[in-house]
Structure 1
């Protein structure tokens, strides 16, 4: 049997594996035959004519999406009981008020949002006396009913104020001094007059009476009861 030299075996193996260049055993980086398998392993060489690696498909991972849940913490107000000074009245949202002159009792709104107190009357007429401007007004408690039971009062006008309310025309109201009594406290305060008595509460007690005299608990009504007027104290 004819034998083949190792060189011919190397050339044949190079052709079988499809190499682009031939390498000889005495060259650096020559191909080697794996014993027992007949497979020729060609080394990786840099430079022109080297076998290029097969392209590998690279798949980029999907970006991780983080869902952030925003939680709004609701804070609840804490009710704190504040001690009230002993020399101040505690008033509810509505109290009975005695008005002088006139001697009438009115269920009145305690209005901390108004600087001055307000009184709605049945009739309001301005006139002049001794060179000064006065006002004639008729007072009747809501439960008294007819105009015949109204009390006529005349008072000097101290000044005027202009009241502007959304949706209404501005009003120029006269301001007089009246004595108001709530509970055991009587104060002489300024009261602005309006020609309107249709409201259920024609009297609104403002801050000029409450200042340094009372505190208001809007969750209560008629805390003080019927006032002690100066005539029956």
Structure 2
């Protein structure tokens, strides 16, 4: 019996992605196979309940790499909540919502959480929940998603 594997696209250690539902484009994202969840930088966020549903309201710079960018307010229904340990070993609750991400000129659904990443080198982190089954990672490469169509 012959097993046919679906071909996976190759992504590099750093990629440039679009989050069209958030109005964010050309965001630098670090690909991190050690992280389970994908994370986007936000200035601040709040969780609230309305009509029996939980929502997250995020305050995100229009372009996270630009210190002078206008901060936009976005609200999403919370898909789920989970407790994760940060890279520093601290447990925190992450509020996960669903949105679209564009790589290789293709839209994918992504489960995304938010936190203050201002002290990190990149405003976004792509974790293995998103990468798994879709992509292979070549850590010697960067910015492959914008160069290929």
Give the TM-score range, shorter chain: 0.7 to 0.9
- Counterpart in 2 of 1:200? 121
| 1:191-230 alignment runs, 5 A limit | 191-225=112-146
Which shifted more, 116-125 or 205-214? 205-214
Task: Count residues in correspondence.
Answer: 143
- Counterpart in 1 of 2:67? 145
Bigger Cα Rg: 1
The separation in 1 between residues aligned to 2:20 and 2:44, in whole angstroms, is 17
- Deviation of 1:144 after TM superposition, in Å, equals 2.7
Say yes or no: does 1:185 pair with 2:106. Answer: yes
Q: What's the TM-score, normalizing by structure 2? A: 0.82
The separation in 1 between residues aligned to 2:14 and 2:104, in whole angstroms, is 12
- Deviation of 1:196 after TM superposition, in Å, equals 3.6
Say yes or no: does 1:89 pair with 2:19. Answer: no
> Where in structure 2 are there 5+ consecutive unaligned residues?
none
- Deviation of 1:222 after TM superposition, in Å, equals 0.8
> Where in structure 1 are there 5+ consecutive unaligned residues?
1-84, 229-233
Say yes or no: does 1:163 pair with 2:64. Answer: no
- Counterpart in 2 of 1:104? 24
SS in 2 for 1:225: coil
Distance change (3 Å), C-alpha of 1:211 and 1:118: same
- Deviation of 1:226 after TM superposition, in Å, equals 6.6
RMSD between superposed Cα atoms in Å: 2.3
